[in-house]
């Protein structure tokens, strides 16, 4: 038991599900296109729209990413925490948001419950 008290979880690792917090959280990462033509305030507002969408759906998505390319924005990856059954589940779908029409479109989710993201520049 003593070793359990002093056990530290490494960066990016998931702790035990019974200690998962029941809360809506911000994305783990926000990825921007290098050619994005909106300012920082607009990016913040757009990101908040996507976060509020998950809250309105009552979806405790965690460790997800928001991607802002030039045209649309996306909510991708992560996992959904089910606070009643204390389970982490892969999302049924990710979302594409069209800011011109203000419509969210479900898209096929990333495979294998992606909870960490890396970028490769070639």
Give residue limits of the domains in the chain. 22-108
Q: Distance between CA atoms of 102 and 94, rounded to whole angstroms?
A: 16
pLDDT of residue 121: 47
Contact predicate 99/46, CB 8 Å: yes
Per-residue pLDDT of 40-93, as tens digits, reads: 999 999 999 999 999 998 888 888 999 998 889 999 988 888 888 888 888 889
Among 27, 18, 25, 33, which residue's Cα sits nearest to residue 84?
Answer: 18
Confidence of residue 122 (pLDDT cuts 50, 70, 90): very low
């Amino acid at each position: 038991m003593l070793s359990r008290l002093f056990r530290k979880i490494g960066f990016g690792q998931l702790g035990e599900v019974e200690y998962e917090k029941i809360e809506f959280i911000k994305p783990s990462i926000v990825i921007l296109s290098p050619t994005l033509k909106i300012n920082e305030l607009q990016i913040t507002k757009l990101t908040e729209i996507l976060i509020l969408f998950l809250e309105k759906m009552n979806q405790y998505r965690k460790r997800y990413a928001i991607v802002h390319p030039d045209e649309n924005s996306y909510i991708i990856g992560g996992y959904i925490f089910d606070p009643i059954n204390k389970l982490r589940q892969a999302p049924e779908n990710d979302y594409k948001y069209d800011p011109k029409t203000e419509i969210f479109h479900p898209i096929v989710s990333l495979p294998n419950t992606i909870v960490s993201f890396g970028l490769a520049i070639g």
